[in-house]
Amino acid sequence: MASGELLFRESSLRAADDETREGLLNGNNGITASTSSCSVITATAVNGGSNSELNNREENISKKKLFTWDEIPEWQRDNHYIRKGYVRETLSFELCLDSLSYFHNESVNIYTHLIPGFSVLLSLGFFLIAGKHFIPAYASTTFLDYFFIDLFLFGLSCCLSLSAGFHCFKCHSDPILRLGNKFDYLGIVTLIVTSMVGIIYYSYIDHPAIAYFFASITFILGFICSIISIKEKFSHPDFRAIRAFMFIIFGLSGVFPVLYGIHTFGWDESVKRSSLNYLIMEGALYITGALLYAFRIPEKFNPGKYDFIGHSHQIFHLFVISAAYCHWHQLIIFLQLFINKFLSKRPSFVNKYNS
Ligand SMILES: [Zn+2]
């Protein structure tokens, strides 16, 4: 078959597929919309191909769920090192949800955050409704102890659920992709704020004025980063590195309470107060994950190899989960530390047990 004819037939089939999809989305089962393309295909078949061959190929294309970088619209193109496995624009929330049932290049991104996100959210809801808490209850445990740990878990579940939702519905359309991207970043800001205020609260439990000061800075920086997340221009791929950099700065702002603690309490006590080993590990995980994401490592060294498993965004997701796990341990260590050492400095403890 001449290459020109082959190309013509390919484009006819592609057009037929596009119009059939359009017809399906418009609710007319594709019959009306695809009529003109069918006549083109039939004419082509008479001129050289077998009907059954073309029918099979047309059926295969209409069943096709995954597309390559070259087959997806411009607005869906974000990382050109990911060459295949795309769910092409669905214009349907139902079809987006259906994509959960098969494996594509966003599946790992979705499930690495969907499963832990909903698990934490459901557990938190269950515990709150049942009047229970994730942390052990001691005689001196206050409402605020519960509050800051539950707040962190709430921030974590928000971040993971919004992220999973973004990755699931990003194939819907350009406006939904942009909206989801904003919520994805708002979720990250929520996680950073709810993580940091907990550390500040426990580190300065006997110095509430300092705790309020650093917590206020955290909320202000979180607010600024939320604005950056919502601004349309920052959602463009061109701003990927700048956006990642700003979030790293926001995350690093958590270093200041630690430095002030070293200055105020000395090295040994401040290391215990801020559980520094876990804090460094947590920061390193977030920063490494964000840098891999920003520089698209490892897929930039071998485009197409990590399309389904192993590309930078998936690694970033796993690093976020690992960092959150570190933070959880950190909070529990804080609580135990206060039981053993710092409780006597706590006003509520003094009032309750020493009066
Ligand atoms: Zn993500």
pLDDT in tens, 288-319: 998 999 999 999 999 999 999 999 999 999 99
For the chain, helix, strand, coil in percent to 5 are: 75, 0, 25
Shared-domain flag, residues 123 and 19: no
Shared-domain flag, residues 130 and 35: no
d(CA 119, CA 104): 23
Torsion of CA 167, 327, 192, 129, to 10 degrees: 80
- Whether pLDDT at 270 is above 70: yes
Q: What would the mean pLDDT of 121-145 be, rounded to a whole number?
A: 78
Residue 330 CA, ligand 1 centroid: distance in Å: 24
Neighbours of ion ligand 1 (CB under 5 A): 163
Mean pLDDT estimate for the chain: 79
> Do the strands 86-87 and 66-67 form a parallel or antiparallel pair, or are they unpaired?
antiparallel
Whole-prediction pTM value?
0.74
Shared-domain flag, residues 129 and 243: yes
Shared-domain flag, residues 272 and 183: yes
Shared-domain flag, residues 17 and 112: no
Q: 136: which residues sit within 8 A by CB, 6+ positions away?
A: 335
Shared-domain flag, residues 338 and 211: yes
Q: Is residue 84 part of a domain?
A: no
Residue 261 CA, ligand 1 centroid: distance in Å: 34
Residue 193 CA, ligand 1 centroid: distance in Å: 18
Domain-ending residue, one of 46, 64, 82: 64
CB-side exposure of 132: number of CA atoms within 13 Å?
A: 8
Q: What would the mean pLDDT of 180-204 be, rounded to a whole number?
A: 89
Pick the more confident residue, 154 or 60.
154
> Three-state DSSP class for 131?
coil
**Boundaries of domain holding 50:** 1-64
Shared-domain flag, residues 195 and 53: no
Instruction: Pick out the residues of the known binding site for Zn(2+).
Output: 167, 313, 317
Please report the pLDDT score of residue 140 as a whole number.
Answer: 67
What total number of domains does the chain contain?
A: 2
Q: Is residue 87 part of a domain?
A: no
Pick the more confident residue, 25 or 88.
88
Residue 248 CA, ligand 1 centroid: distance in Å: 16
- 240-257 confidence digits (pLDDT tens): 777 777 777 787 777 888
Query: Which has the closest alpha carbon to 105: 309, 302, 293?
Result: 309
Q: Which range has the worst mean pLDDT, 145-154, 196-205, 345-354?
A: 345-354
Please report the pLDDT score of residue 245 as a whole number.
Answer: 75
